[in-house]
Amino acid sequence: MGVAQGRGFRPWLAASTASVFGDSVTFFAIGWAAAGFGADAASLVLTIEGIPLAVLVLAGGVLADRIGFRRTMAACDAAMVLVMAAFAVGAIDGAGLWMLVAVGALSGTIQALQRPAEGVFPRLFGAEDLDRRMALVGSAHQIARTAGPAAGGFLIGHGGLPLTAGLDAATYAIVLVALLLVRPPHEPAPAPAHGSVWHSLADGARTAVRTPGVVPVLVAITGLAATVLPLVMLALPLAGRERGWTAAETGLVSGAWVAGGLVMTLAVARWGALRAPVAVAGPALAAGGVVLLGLRTEIWAGILAVGLVGVGTTMLTSYLLPAYVARTPPEMLARFSSLTQLAQTGPVLLATPLLGVAAGVDVRLALAAIAALLLATVPAAARVARLPRPIPQRV
């Protein structure tokens, strides 16, 4: 990475990591507060953010391509400053359930408009070493997400929701300032607006279908999203209760997924992407971890199993996502990014209730389904691996 690129990339990375940390703190606190209203209320608050994410993320891709990446991200960060500042003030006398739901819905809407631009922002700092740069962003954000809940638990006890929301507003202000100061050296000019939003979406979808390797990447990402998040959010807590694990023990097992993924992203950030055959083996390794989780009930086995899931899935995504971004036409960067965002959010809304039904019969049945779906991603990933490694188009 060149010096000029590094000077722009690193301040943005530091600011965006702070913002991810603030978000993680706040939404742990919101989940904790929602749990006080009962299980149904907690489920509603946790689900409500995902709905606008799935519905509006494609529109976010069109928006960023039309008005520019930094403008879109800056406007969304400014909106989140206002939302979190208002939440901090409104929660001083206590937060009702309606307030928690409103914050989740507003946050999901704003994130849907921002994520397509944010997902490809590292590419704007240069085409070389894209896999290492994206892995660096992923590992920094993962560390922030890991530290956030622990900090949120501490801050809830020393200032409640006003303190956590105020901290989140401050971190959004930090990343907003960074976006106003940083000038990525390869940011494309906004694409001319031809026709309606629907026309732009259709144009992007047609181009994606025609671009070699794009559809298999989306299929593989969809398979991973439909398995890993329901595993961690649904199947693992149910398995923990069934096996008599404490909340702390179950949390330790769940954290192994983050730890495994973090180890892999740090390795890629240091040494570059894995070779294609090794990356494609990732889902098989993850499926093996899920099988181990189904067969053994000891805590150590759970930690090892879920750690393998984190390592295996990240082996594949750290190869696929940079390849996908490198194949993206410069004038459609955000629209292509919105497709991957949809592939990560939409399947969770569908797979979670279905796997919940299976888990209601037997948790091992849900785990078997998850392992099978992980293995089903291998053929799509292998199709991408057979293609020549792409060279990113200049922007």
User: What are the distances in angstroms from CA 331 to CA 22, 35, 61, 91?
Assistant: 32, 44, 11, 43
Contact criterion met (CB below 8 Å) for 216 and 378:
no
Residue 281 has pLDDT above 80, yes or no: yes
Is 197 part of a structural domain of the chain? no
Please report the pLDDT score of residue 319 as a whole number.
Answer: 86
The CATH number linked to 336 is: 1.20.1250.20
Q: Using CA atoms, how far apart are residues 254 and 275, in angstroms rounded to an integer?
A: 28
Contact criterion met (CB below 8 Å) for 259 and 289:
no
Residues with Cβ < 8 Å from 288, sequence gap 6 or more? 308, 312
Domain holding 95, by residue range, is 3-128+138-188
Confidence of residue 5 (pLDDT cuts 50, 70, 90): very low
Same domain, 259 and 286: yes
Tokens 């990591």, located at residue: 17
User: What are the distances in angstroms from CA 182 to CA 15, 63, 74, 110, 121?
Assistant: 11, 20, 11, 21, 12
Please report the pLDDT score of residue 253 as a whole number.
Answer: 83
pLDDT in tens, 77-122: 999 999 999 999 998 888 788 899 999 899 999 999 999 988 888 8
pLDDT in tens, 335-394: 888 888 888 887 877 777 777 777 777 888 889 999 999 999 999 888 887 766 655 555
Same domain, 264 and 336: yes
Is 367 part of a structural domain of the chain? yes
pTM, entire model: 0.74
Q: Using CA atoms, how far apart are residues 50 and 27, in angstroms rounded to an integer?
A: 13
Confidence of residue 261 (pLDDT cuts 50, 70, 90): confident
Is 120 part of a structural domain of the chain? yes
Same domain, 182 and 267: no
Residues with Cβ < 8 Å from 174, sequence gap 6 or more? 15, 18, 19
Same domain, 155 and 289: no
User: What is the total count of domains within the chain?
Assistant: 2
Is 261 part of a structural domain of the chain? yes
- Mean pLDDT (the chain, rounded): 83
Residue 286 has pLDDT above 80, yes or no: yes
Tokens 């279908």, located at residue: 209
More confident position, 42 or 147? 147
Q: Using CA atoms, how far apart are residues 216 and 208, in angstroms rounded to an integer?
A: 11
Residue 1 has pLDDT above 50, yes or no: no
Confidence of residue 64 (pLDDT cuts 50, 70, 90): confident
Window from 76-80, 155-159, 262-266, 333-337 with minimum mean pLDDT: 155-159
